[in-house]
Amino acid sequence: MKRLPMTLVAGALLTAVFAVAALVSLAWTPHAVEGMNIATRLQPPGADHWFGTDHFGRDILSMIMVGARTSIAVAVIAVGMGMVLGVPLGLLAAANRGGLIDEVIMRGNDLVFAFPALVIAILITAVFGPSAVNAIIAIGIFNTPVFARVTRGGALSLWTLDYIRAARVAGKGAGRISIEHILPNIANLLIVQGTIQFSLGILAEAALSYVGLGAQPPTPSWGRMLAEAQTMIAMAPHLAIIPGLAIVLTVLGLNLMGDGLRDILDPKLRRAR
Amino acid sequence: MLRFALQRLTSLTISLIVASMVIFFVIEVIPGDPAAYMLGMNAQPETVAALRRDLGLDQGLFVRYLAWVGGMVTGDFGTSYTYRVPVSELIMARLGVSLPLTVYALVLSTLIAFPVGLIAAARRGSALDAGIMGGTQLGIALPNFWFAMLLVLFFSITLQWFSAGGFPGWDAGFWINIQALTLPAVALALPQASILARVMRSAVIETLGQDYIRTARAKGLTSRQTVVRHALRNALIPVLTIIGLQFSFLLAGGIIIENVFFLPGLGRLIFQAITQRDLIVVESVVMILVFAVILVTFLVDLTYAAADPRLRRRA
Amino acid sequence: MSLISVENLSLDIYGTPILRDVSFDIAQGKVFGLVGESGSGKSMTSLALMKLLPDGARRSGRAVIDGRDLFALDEAAMCAIRGNQIGMIFQEPMTALNPVQTIGDQVAETLVVHGVAKRAEALAIAREKLDRVGLDGARFPLDRYPHELSGGQRQRVCIAMAVALRPRLLIADEPTTALDVTTQAQILDLLRGLVEEEGMSLLMITHDLAVVSGLADHVAVMQEGRIVEQGPTEELFRTRAHDYTQRLFAASAHRPAREPTVTDEILLTVEDARRSYALPRRSLFGTAPKLEAVRGVSFTLRKGESLGLVGESGCGKSTLTRAILGLEDLQGGSIRLFDREPVKPGMANALRAGLQVVFQDPYGSFNPRWKVSRLVAEPFHLMPHPPADARDRVNDALVEVGLRPDDADKYIHEFSGGQRQRIAIARALINRPDLIVLDEAVSALDVRVRAQILDLLARLQETHGLGYLFISHDLHVVRAITDRVMVMKAGEIVETGETEAVFANPQHPYTRQLIAATPTIPAQWQMQEHA
């Protein structure tokens, strides 16, 4: 059995901490996150409230746990959306490489790339109002061309290989070849890209919630916690520091995991030693 | 080269046209009646009718689209419903903050990333390389607006080296404004520099594995000469792409970070416009942002062709 | 007088032994040939001399030039020697030049880094050197970029770079392997001329016995990191004292015993096939120029016949092959199997079943995620229903190509290049097709493996009555395995005939040129004990 890379282990552990926190929060949190308790407001980290309380007296640890749920849900659904839309588009473009369909898909890709996720969120919010669902849609749209491009790139290099030509000589059409030969051989690429987009999605959700375009009260969200902490940063810095650390550690964990996965999944990048 | 530029220019124009159609569709078609939407539920029917006339909503969709695009080409973005001033004036004033901030951050990011990435590549496998890679890993994970808050906490509140925010305006002098933009630019640049440094490192390492590097060594070049004369320029080609992409991240990031530093940029304008349902302003600012991204992509393509002779003569 | 002596060179890379006790002398002004199969360590020997070994290399021994041991020199001293005392050229000219620098600058750089000349003067010398290697100033000004040149032209630039300072030793590592035969002949002539004029020594590394036989004064044969035999070329080639040398020799001259039973039944008919591609437009508004890849090709192939198609890269044989496989449309003419519907993309599966293919690259020919059983069975897709005895037929096919039935449960990475080519043949056979297209099917294999695969192909043809369309750039191979041969040039078949007749008495000037350019071991050297 080959040794797993350190980055993969560390990343997976870090990610697991937040995933577990999010799952546990479905059933239990140390304190209730709804409702105010003025008596316990703005407490620093201590024995009862490990991470302290905010200006409404809510327990920060509990809010971090529930916020993890929001972040992970938004990012996972947005990555799923990007994959479901982007991968078939990429496969289709590669199967018609050089043709009109390829051209249209790639130009469409470029067009979406011209709209940063924030701008998509602004457009959607301006018309439909802010919500977590809009954040998901904005990030999902942003992810689509990323997956389309990665899929197409990976697929194009495979289409030149002789085993694809052999499959064509065996009478297989482009659709069947894409599913039987191409997709399994680019799965590694997609998994690695998926973890990268997952971590970008966490960052994007936080940013959108921070400017008020994402999750709305009373849904706890790391980004909104930071927005609320901002005015009180001088007197209660822990309100800003803790949710930020939660974001950094989650993203770090996902990125390390992505690097580790690439090391074991992509033999080209595997070190010679 | 000219042919290549013309070709890129055509695709730039097409991108702009399609983008403007998308924006127009989302803002002016999806809401149904933009006038009623902007005024909210309690508006008097007469007020709505008046706004409809002002906005030209009684005309056909196509005519309205052409009028909007035609206006923009001549610098007329319409009149803001809430501010009652031409949108172009609003945007010009705000661009004076957002654009310098983006460019400042882009320059910082590049200046940090190039040497760092190059050193890591040159010393790959060493402790220094491992340290740099670890540091960039952390940098990538930083949300820039949170990093900005930490900078404020440390440099403005604790050390009091910088003001915690605000922007004096360019009339007040150059350096004082640069100082006001420094913390925001650093907050924006560091995470992007981390990405760019990693790209730079892997591009240089990949280039160093190419056959022509071995040829250069066989000619008697030292490994340092090989990097400087052969690896750098070839490694620059993938790095350029990322710099182009970073522009749009920095522009969007700047819009978010303005909130931390109370900067009167496009971000403040657009978020206020969203809450006030001033669709005219939203539409125009979004178009400007998208225009900037498309324009930078075009410029990157041209630089690309200048760096890579293979692109110049064909296609 | 010896210019360089290598003594007891041994090399390990990350603990894996690569070279063991390699010793040889290269005489002043002479050509020293180092031959061996892939993995024998011949390239590593040359990189060791240049001290350009990969990470993790540990080396022992000595390499003495002018009384100095290269291996004892530090990196700075070595940089002064590379390009100046010892020049080197490599196998792959397409990637050996920096794509973003002009050829003039790259040649001039050799002079500049060694402090021999400033840039302006260096460019003037670069011009002379490029002229010397056959790239005249009118067609190849100094400001050309590598991508504007063909492979052979790029190799000339590499040679100009390597000899710009008139080094005493030039190392050429498979310098013509990636080139067409006529280009190869020109490059070999150029190297021969440089050795004579400049009085330099040449270390010629190649897998091709015929190439060294015509070029080298001395030859060393390498196997698994050791030199098994060395001596003056003619003597070594005539005596073949070592068993390995004998086997290499036998394999490279190998011709499978064939008793073809060619019938009169016409299997494949190609009639006036045409195909052109639009090239990028030169001006903004002009019409796009066309590349006429295939210009009116007609031929027939009979059942049980082996028909060769030879030509150099760019002659249109790949396009023609794709059309015959039904992977690409023709723009004119037709291709038919027997007298059925025309072969084209989207043709009926039943029609396709008559046709199979074996490709060149044993590594790219198989989906790495499938087991051999599924890989070999893939053409069953062409049948209305997969046969009930599919697994038995896969096993039979594997046995037929010399593998074992339990190989079916392995993945492709568990097999060597030669075994993979056998699996590719099994896949081509599984549907019992009438025609197998062999597209450079043995070109990537070492000579001994190639000989075995050729035997296998010859046997299968007899037992199954197969028709072969054998496409290759290698005239030796085509001569060994085909009944008739076609020579293709610039999209047209310029000569067709019985293989022996064409080789013995070529009619078209291009055929003659091809045959003359193909390196051969002098026939009288081979007289004794022909295996």
Q: Give the model confidence (pLDDT) of C154-209 as tens digits.
A: 999 999 999 999 999 999 999 998 889 999 999 999 999 999 998 999 999 999 99
- Who's near A172: CB < 8 A, 6+ residues apart? A180, C378, C381
Tokens 């490990």 belong to which residue?
Answer: A50
B44 and B153, same domain (yes or no): no
- Residue B89: inside a domain: no
Peptide bond before residue C384 is cis, with ω within 30 degrees of 0 = no
**Closest Cα of chain A to B141: distance in Å?**
5
B187 and B108, same domain (yes or no): yes
Give the pLDDT mean for C109-135.
94
- Residue A42: inside a domain: no
**Three-class DSSP category at B5:** helix
Q: Is A60 on the interface with C (CB under 8 A)?
A: no
Q: Are C456 and C425 in contact (CB under 8 A)?
A: yes
Q: Give the model confidence (pLDDT) of C267-311 as tens digits.
A: 999 999 999 988 776 665 667 778 889 999 999 999 999 999 999
Which candidate, B253, B236, B251, B265, places its Cα nearest to that of B296? B251
Give the model's pLDDT for residue A271: 38
- Residue B273 clears pLDDT 90, i.e. is over it: no
CATH number at residue A241: 1.10.3720.10
SS3 track for chain B: CHHHHHHHHHHHHHHHHHHHHHHHHHHHHCCCCHHHHHHCCCCCHHHHHHHHHHHCCCCCHHHHHHHHHHHHHCCCCCECCCCCCEHHHHHHHHHHHHHHHHHHHHHHHHHHHHHHHHHHHHCCCCHHHHHHHHHHHHHHHCCHHHHHHHHHHHHHHHCCCCCCCCCCCHHHCHHHHHHHHHHHHHHHHHHHHHHHHHHHHHHHHHHHCCHHHHHHHHCCCCHHHHHHHHHHHHHHHHHHHHHHHHHHHHHHHHHHHHHHHCCCCHHHHHHHHHHCCCHHHHHHHHHHHHHHHHHHHHHHHHHHHHHCHHHHHCC
Concatenated DSSP letters of C314-362 = TSSHHHHHHHHTTSS--SEEEEEETTSSBP-TT--HHHHTTEEEE-S-T
Give the model's pLDDT for residue A201: 92
Residues of chain B with C-beta less than 8 angstroms from the C-beta of A237: 153
- Residue B162 clears pLDDT 80, i.e. is over it: no
Q: How far apart are CA C469 and CA C479, in angstroms?
A: 13
- The minimal CB distance from C113 to the residues B3, B225, B308 is found for B225
Take residue C28 and report the two structure tokens written for it. Answer: 């002043």
Give the pLDDT mean for B8-18.
90
B37 and B155, same domain (yes or no): no
Q: How far apart are CA B177 and CA B174, in angstroms?
A: 6
**Closest Cα of chain C to B291: distance in Å?**
27
Q: Give the model confidence (pLDDT) of A125-161 as tens digits.
A: 888 888 888 889 999 999 999 999 999 999 999 998 9
B265 residue type, one letter? G
- Who's near C467: CB < 8 A, 6+ residues apart? C267, C268, C301, C302, C303, C304, C305, C306, C307, C434, C435, C436
Give the model's pLDDT for residue C286: 64
- Under the banding of pLDDT at 50, 70 and 90, the label for residue C35 is very high
Of residues B287 and A129, more confidence is placed in B287
Neighbours of C140 (CB within 10 A): 21
ipTM associated with this complex: 0.86
- Residue C358 clears pLDDT 90, i.e. is over it: yes
B58 and B172, same domain (yes or no): no
- Asked if the Cβ–Cβ distance from C327 to A169 is below 8 Å, we say yes
- The minimal CB distance from B314 to the residues C99, C101, C280 is found for C280
B66 and B168, same domain (yes or no): no
Percent of all residues in chain C with a pLDDT value above 70, rounded to a whole number? 98
Give the model's pLDDT for residue A2: 55
Neighbours of B175 (CB within 10 A): 8
- Residue B88: inside a domain: no
Residue ranges with strand state E in B140-225: none
**Closest Cα of chain B to C171: distance in Å?**
10
Q: Are A208 and A121 in contact (CB under 8 A)?
A: yes
Concatenated DSSP letters of C218-270 = EEEEEETTEEEEEEEHHHHHHH--SHHHHHHHHHHT----------S-EEEEE
**Closest Cα of chain A to C352: distance in Å?**
7
- Asked if the Cβ–Cβ distance from C99 to B307 is below 8 Å, we say no
- Asked if the Cβ–Cβ distance from A166 to C382 is below 8 Å, we say no
Q: Is C81 on the interface with B (CB under 8 A)?
A: yes
Q: Give the model confidence (pLDDT) of C471-520 as tens digits.
A: 999 999 999 999 999 999 999 999 999 999 999 999 999 999 999 999 98
Give the model's pLDDT for residue C122: 95
- Residue B80: inside a domain: no
Give the pLDDT mean for C424-436.
94
- Residue A46: inside a domain: no
Percent of all residues in chain C with a pLDDT value above 90, rounded to a whole number? 76
- Residue A237: inside a domain: yes
Take residue A165 and report the two structure tokens written for it. Answer: 């030509």
Q: Which of residues 233-272 of A touch C (CB under 8 A)?
A: 272
B102 and B57, same domain (yes or no): no
Q: Give the model confidence (pLDDT) of C200-256 as tens digits.
A: 999 999 999 999 998 999 999 999 999 999 999 999 999 889 999 999 988 888 889
Q: H-helix or E-strand containing B56? A: none
Give the model's pLDDT for residue C362: 87
Instruction: Indicate if the alpha-carbon torsion angle B125, C96, C476, C366 is positive or negative.
Output: positive
Give the model's pLDDT for residue A270: 41
Give the pLDDT mean for C32-42.
92
Task: Return the exposure string of C79-92: e unless at least 16 CB atoms fall within 10 Å of the residue's CB, then b.
Answer: bbbbbbbbbbbbbb
Q: How far apart are CA C161 and CA C103, in angstroms?
A: 9
B114 and B207, same domain (yes or no): yes
- Residue A45: inside a domain: no
> Radius of gyration over alpha carbons of chain B, in Å?
24
- Residue A176: inside a domain: yes
Tokens 């150099």 belong to which residue?
Answer: C312
Give the model's pLDDT for residue C530: 46
Q: Is A4 on the interface with C (CB under 8 A)?
A: no
- Residue B298: inside a domain: yes
The residue in chain B having the minimum alpha-carbon distance to the alpha carbon of residue C46 is B218
Residues of chain C with C-beta less than 8 angstroms from the C-beta of B210: 95
Give the model's pLDDT for residue B11: 87
**Three-class DSSP category at C370:** coil
Best mutation target among B30, B82, B146, B298 (most A Cβ atoms within 10 Å) is B146
Instruction: Please give the tally of structural domains in chain B.
Output: 2
Give the model's pLDDT for residue C232: 95
Give the model's pLDDT for residue B154: 86
Q: H-helix or E-strand containing C138? A: none
Which candidate, C182, C238, C180, places its Cα nearest to that of C209? C238
**Closest Cα of chain C to B7: distance in Å?**
9
Give the model's pLDDT for residue C253: 85
Residue A18: give the domain boundaries: 6-24+52-272
- The minimal CB distance from A169 to the residues C14, C55, C356 is found for C356
CATH number at residue B248: 1.10.3720.10
- Under the banding of pLDDT at 50, 70 and 90, the label for residue A31 is confident
Task: Return the exposure string of B155-173: e unless at least 16 CB atoms fall within 10 Å of the residue's CB, then b.
Answer: bbeeeeebbbbebeeeeee
Instruction: Please give the tally of structural domains in chain A.
Output: 1
- Residue A74: inside a domain: yes
Take residue A180 and report the two structure tokens written for it. Answer: 């039987």
B249 and B106, same domain (yes or no): yes
B121 and B244, same domain (yes or no): yes
Give the model's pLDDT for residue C327: 92
Give the model's pLDDT for residue A186: 92
Question: What average pLDDT does the structure give for chain B?
Answer: 87
Strands C218-223 and C226-232: antiparallel
Question: What average pLDDT does the structure give for chain A?
Answer: 86
Give the model's pLDDT for residue C527: 65
pTM equals 0.87
Concatenated DSSP letters of C487-517 = EEETTEEEEEEEHHHHHHS--SHHHHHHHHH
B241 and B124, same domain (yes or no): yes
- Residue B100 clears pLDDT 90, i.e. is over it: yes
- Asked if the Cβ–Cβ distance from B218 to C50 is below 8 Å, we say yes
- Residue A227 clears pLDDT 90, i.e. is over it: no
Q: H-helix or E-strand containing C27? A: strand C16-27
- Residue A39: inside a domain: no
**Closest Cα of chain C to B314: distance in Å?**
7
C293 residue type, one letter? A
Give the model's pLDDT for residue B48: 79
- Residue B87: inside a domain: no
A243 residue type, one letter? P
- Who's near A126: CB < 8 A, 6+ residues apart? B26, B27, B273, B274, B277, B279, B282
B157 and B305, same domain (yes or no): yes
Q: How far apart are CA C188 and CA A179, in angstroms?
A: 48
- The minimal CB distance from A165 to the residues C349, C359, C381 is found for C359
Q: Give the model confidence (pLDDT) of B206-257 as tens digits.
A: 999 899 999 999 999 998 899 989 999 899 888 988 898 889 889 989 999 9
Residue B123: give the domain boundaries: 95-314
B68 and B122, same domain (yes or no): no
**Three-class DSSP category at C458:** helix
- Asked if the Cβ–Cβ distance from A123 to B282 is below 8 Å, we say yes
Specify which of A109-118, A178-187, B1-10, C281-290 reaches the highest per-range mean pLDDT: A178-187
Take residue B306 and report the two structure tokens written for it. Answer: 């200048």
> Radius of gyration over alpha carbons of chain C, in Å?
25
- Residue B78: inside a domain: no
Q: Is C529 on the interface with A (CB under 8 A)?
A: no
